[in-house]
Amino acid sequence: MINYSLEPQAKKVDALVIPFFEDIKPDVIANQLNQVFEGLVNQVVELEDFQGKKGQSALLYTQVEFTPRVFLVGLGKEKSLTVRDWKQAIGTATIAMQEKKSESISIVIPKQLIKSFDFNIKKLGYETVLAIEIANYSFDTYKDKEAHVKPLKDVMFVGDFETTEKKLFQKGAEEGKQTAQGVNLARMLGNTPPSIMTPALIAKNAKEIAKENNKTKVTVFEKADMEKMGMGCLLGVAKGSVLDPKFIVIEYNNTTKKTKPTVLVGKGVTFDTGGLSLKPGEFMTDMKFDMLGAATVLGIMKAATNLGLKNHIVGIIPSCENAVSGEAYRPDDILTAMNGKTVEVKNTDAEGRLILADALSYVAKHYKDAKEVIDFATLTGACIVALGNERSGLFSPEENIVNKLTISAKNSGEQLWHLPIGSEYSEAVKSLTADIKNVGGVGGPRYAGASTAAAFLQYFTLDHKSGEAIYPWAHIDLSCSYYNGAGHPWIRHGANGFGVQTLIGYIRS
C-alpha cells in the first residue's frame, strides 16, 4: 500500500519527479528547485538534451541532501495535453524510479494543471493516483524474490494548492486508489497461469468481492444447473475439458429504490486451444488472456463496491475452458442456446460468442428490464488486425450508449473505436442447417470478422417475434486488453485492465 501526502515543498525522498511542458516556462516551484540544484535542470534544458516533449525523460543525479535523483518527464505542448498523456508521463516516472529501487518519491504538480478546467482538481488527484497504482503493479509472483519489483511506499505531491484544492485533490486521490484496485484485480486475474486460473477460481474471486460488501451477492451455477436451464452453447464449449464450467452472477445494489440495473457480461474462457479447430502454435501463446472479459467485469465490480457507488450493477460471467479431447464439441455440431435458438458450429475456435449467447439469453430472461447490457470479450483477432492493441472495438445500435462510452473512455485515458454492425453482417451469420452459425464473412470467409462476431451476439439480444431489441446493448471487443513483450514505459507487460476505468466513469455519469 502506498502512502500519499501533499506537501508545500519537497522533502527528503529517493527521487524527485518534475513534469515539464514543452512550450512554457517552468512554474515557480520548478524554478525554486532548479536553484537548489544549482542550475542543473536548466543546464540539461539549455543543452537540449531534454525539451519537455511528449515521451521524453531525463534522469539527473544531484549532490543535495533531500534527494539523490531528479527525474524530468515531458508532457508535450500544454494545449494538446490529454488525460492519457498525463497518466503516461506519471506512469513512466513511477516505473523508472522503481527500477532505481526508490521507495519514496515526490512529484511536482504543475500549477497549470491545478488551474486547468479540463482536469479539475479532484480529477487531477484521481487520475494521478490511478496512474501511479497501475504503474506500481508488477506480476512477479512466480519469480525469484530477489527479482521482484520493489513497490513504492511513499508518494508526496508538491504543488501550490489552496486549502479547498488540497481537499479536493486528496478526495480524488483516494477514489483513484479505490478504482486502481479494480484495475489491478483484473490484471492479476488475467496474468495468472491458466492451470491455476480456472472457472472455479474466477467464481471464488467473485465470492471474495461479495464478502467485502454487504450490498453484493453472488450465485454460482454448476454444470447441472446449466443443463436444467438449457445452456447448450456453454456446455458444448466446455465438453472437451476436465474442468467443470461455471456460470457466475454477481449483483451489487446500493440504491434505496427499485432501479433498472446496468448489466455487464464478461467472456471467461480460461484457456483457449481453439478446440478441434486447433490454433497454430504461435497463436496458442497468451490464450490465458481469453478470460479478460470476465476479469474486466470483476474489476469493475471491485471498483464499484470500493467506491460505494449508488448504483445497481449486475455482472454475468460464463466461464469454461476450450480444450481438446475425445469429448470435445466438433465442427458441424449444432448446439441449442438457452433461448431455444440453434447454432451451427463452423469453427470451434469461435467459442467465445457461443458462451456469450447463453449469457445474453440469460439476461433476456432474468434482466430484460436492464437499463443497458454491455458485454466484454477478447472475441476476435480480426479486431486487433483492424485497430491494433491500443484501442478496443465498440459495437452497438444504441447511439446514446456509443457516445457516452466513447466520451468516458477519452476522459479516462482509454480508447474505444466505434465499428459497424448492420444487415450485411447479420445475413453473413445465417445458417442453412440451423438458426445461425458461429462464423461468417462479408465478401469472403475471413472478411469483417469483428463485425460478424458482433452480429452473432446481437442476434441473442433480440425478440425474434417482433424483431426488436429486448434491452439496450453494446459489445466491446477487447483488442487492447494486454501487452506482450516488455509492455510500455508507463505500464508493465501482461493484462492491462482495460475497460475498468471507462465503465466506472460511464456508470458514475
Average pLDDT over residues 342-350: 98
Q: How many separate domains does the chain show?
A: 2
For residue 508, give the DSSP letter.
Answer: H
Secondary structure E strands in 236-311: 246-253, 262-266, 268-272
Q: Are residues 360 and 431 in the same domain?
A: yes
Last residue of a domain, one of 116, 149, 180: 180
Residue type, 135: A
Task: Give the three-state DSSP class for 9.
Answer: coil
What number of H helices and E strands is found in the chain?
17, 20
CB-based contact 392:478 (threshold 8 Å): yes
- Residue 334: inside a domain: yes
Given a cut of 90, is residue 264 above it in pLDDT?
yes
- Does residue 187 sit within a domain? no
Judge if 374 and 504 occupy the same domain: yes
Domain around 229: 192-508
- Taking CB atoms within 8 Å and a gap of at least 24, the contacts of 414-418 are 414/84, 414/498, 414/499, 414/501, 414/502, 415/84, 415/390, 415/391, 415/480, 416/391, 416/392, 416/476, 416/502, 417/387, 417/391, 417/392, 417/393, 418/394
Query: What is the pLDDT at residue 27?
Result: 67
Q: Are residues 141 and 201 in the same domain?
A: no
Grid cell 501511479 is found at 132
- Cell numbers standing for residue 291: 478470460
Q: What does residue 495 show for φ and ψ, rounded to 5 degrees?
A: -60, 140
Please give the Cα distance from 228 to 231 (Å, whole number). 8
Give yes or no for a contact between 76 and 24, defined as CB atoms under 8 angstroms apart. Answer: no
Are 377 and 482 in a shared domain? Answer: yes
The answer to whether residue 360 sits within a structural domain is: yes
In a domain, 173, yes or no: yes
Residue 68: what are its φ and ψ, rounded to 5°? -85, -15
> What is the C-alpha R_g of the chain?
24
pLDDT tens digits for range 432-475: 999 999 999 887 778 999 999 999 999 999 999 999 999 999 99
C-alpha cell at 162: 489552496
My answer on whether 136 and 199 are in the same domain is no
Q: Can you tell me which residue has the cell 513483450?
A: 485
What is the CATH number for 144? 3.40.220.10
Per-residue pLDDT, 306: 98
What does the block give as the cell for 211? 464478502
**Residues sharing a CB contact under 8 Å with residue 359, sequence separation 6 or more, in sequence order:** 234, 247, 265, 316, 317, 318, 375
330 and 460: one domain? Answer: yes
- Residues 124 and 215 reside in one and the same domain: no
Classify residue 410: in a domain, yes or no: yes
Tell me how far apart the alpha carbons of residues 456 and 26 are, in angstroms, rounded to a whole number. 54
* pLDDT, tens digit, 9 for 90 and up, residues 62-112: 988 889 999 999 999 999 999 999 999 999 999 999 999 999 999 999 988
Q: How far apart are CA 348 and CA 360, in angstroms?
A: 19
Residues involved in catalysis: 279, 353
- 175, 219: one domain: no
Domain final position from 130, 150, 180? 180
- The backbone torsions φ and ψ at residue 28, rounded to the nearest 5 degrees and listed phi first, read -60, -45
| Residues 145 and 17 grouped into a single domain | yes
- Across the range 311-318, mean pLDDT stands at 98
For residue 241, being part of any structural domain is answered with yes
Q: From edge to edge, which strands make up the β-sheet containing 57-61?
A: 3-7, 154-158, 104-108, 15-20, 69-74, 57-61
Q: Is residue 397 part of a domain?
A: yes
Q: Are residues 265 and 390 in the same domain?
A: yes
- Going by pLDDT thresholds of 50, 70 and 90, the confidence category of residue 32 is confident
Instruction: Answer yes or no: do 52 and 120 share one domain.
Output: yes
Please report, for the domain that includes residue 280, its CATH number.
3.40.630.10
334 and 418 share one domain: yes
CB 83 within 8 A of CB 130: no
Confidence band of 45 (pLDDT split at 50, 70, 90): confident
pLDDT digits (tens, 9 = 90+) for 117-130: 667 999 999 999 99
Q: Decide if pLDDT at 24 tops 80.
A: no
Secondary structure element (H or E) that encloses residue 399, with its range: helix 399-412
Q: What's phi and psi for 419, nearest 5 deg?
A: -115, 160
Residue 186 is assigned to a structural domain of this protein: no
Q: Which of 160, 180, 200 is the last residue of a domain?
A: 180
Residue 435 has a CB neighbour count (10 Å cut-off) of: 18
**According to the per-residue pLDDT averaged within each range, which of 47-56, 140-149, 357-366 is highest?**
357-366
Instruction: Transcribe 209-233 into DSSP letters.
Output: HHHT-TTEEEEEE-HHHHHHHT-HH
Q: What is the pLDDT of residues 179-230, one digit of tens each?
A: 999 999 999 999 999 999 999 999 999 999 999 999 999 999 999 999 999 9
